[in-house]
Amino acid sequence: MQQQEYDLVIVGGGLVGASLALALQPLAKKLDWKICLVENQPPNNVPQISDWQPSFDARSTALAWGTRLIYERLGLWQDLEEHANPIEHIQITDRGFLGATQLHNTEQQVAALGYVVPNIWLGKVLWQGLAAAKNTQVLAPAVIHYVSFPSPEQALLEGELEDKPLVIKAKLVVLADGGRSGIKQQLGIADAIHDYEQTAIIANVRMSKPHQGWAYERFATDGPMALLPLAGRDMALVWTRTNEQAATDAVLGDAEFLQAIQQDDARVLIMRADVGRDFLSEQLQQRGIKVDFLPLYCRRLPVYPSDTLITRIQQEQLNGLVVSSEQGLRHLIELAGEAWPQLASLALFVPSPRVAQIARKLGAQHVIDCKGASNQAVLNALNTHAAPIA
């Protein structure tokens, strides 16, 4: 039987236990403490990523900027940074409500709003730090079965180390072996539990386009969904479901799962004239979004004699025309009537590539895309193309 004595014993060598042991190193050195960390998984030095520290799984951990500063002080950040993916932007939306909140690292004047680190890499770096910690001894694979207190100043831990009996004496014990800790139950430490009747499904997904350092959080009636940036086009998904939904969704095949997470009962209200915005509506509906319209005004073609438009253009010696929509373009052609072939040779300023394509099909010879229908967009295009076009 091995019997050892320490000032502090930490039971559990996961993220919490390993980080605590390393954070206490300066104090342990100053006070000459002996620290012991007990972990039921043996350390693994095999270089393959899937074989890094077994007590850390394939999930990822989001680290705040302040956490990075802590790991910097511990001398660990230089290694962690190799696989730490920066969160440079965050978008937060609430299903059924207009608008979104966006945060950007440049506005906060930091290199990143946070970082996403694969747990297996986090575990490898932490355990490398433990191996170099002079005031901490790691016992692994070891398990603690029972904790008692022979006196107020001492705890007695009984268990096994590599299948041999183990007894440890300690002045202080920290339980970092998870929420379902058997020792916690054995000691009668109560839990304060509020059951939301929800389950979080965790997965790693690959996007069709680069995420560019964006993180997303979407709130819905059945719980939030979050996407966190990983390496390349990969993102970590946290999908909150009711317990009943999770039981079904967690066993879906890859194709069905991807389809399920992209379903959304989102609705968009387009405020427009009595007609228009058809292209935008089609694009939204193709993405499964329900579209409603709210007419706010009407466009009506003015009633003029047939030669009014061409006469006015000639009198003003105009060499360019501006339309702000597809409907405006069609009204222009209708007003021009038989004079449209003459007007088609003038510079025609339109708000978008789509309207530009329609204008060319209808005979316009010099079409300029303003890249927007705002006053500034039109002015920028007019300034750029100020010279008459022959």
pLDDT for the residue 212: 96
Across residues 270-292, what is the average pLDDT?
80
Buried b (16+ CB within 10 A) or exposed e, 40-60: bbebbeeeeeeebbbbbeeeb
Across residues 129-158, what is the average pLDDT?
93
Dump pLDDT digits (tens) for 286-341: 766 788 888 888 877 888 888 888 999 899 889 899 998 888 899 999 999 999 99
Amino acid at the residue 298 = C
Helices (H), 109-167: 119-132
C-alpha 88/C-alpha 39 separation (Å) is 35
Dump pLDDT digits (tens) for 17-76: 999 999 999 999 999 999 999 999 887 655 454 454 555 667 899 999 999 999 999 999
Residue 284: is its pLDDT beyond 90? no
Distance of CA 21 to the CA centre of its chain: 30
Q: Is the pTM of this model over 0.75?
A: no
Contact 91, 219 (CB under 8 A): no
Domains belonging to the chain, first-starting first, are 2-85+117-186 (3.50.50.60), 198-261 (3.30.9.10), 267-297 (no CATH), 308-384 (3.40.50.10090)
pLDDT for the residue 390: 47
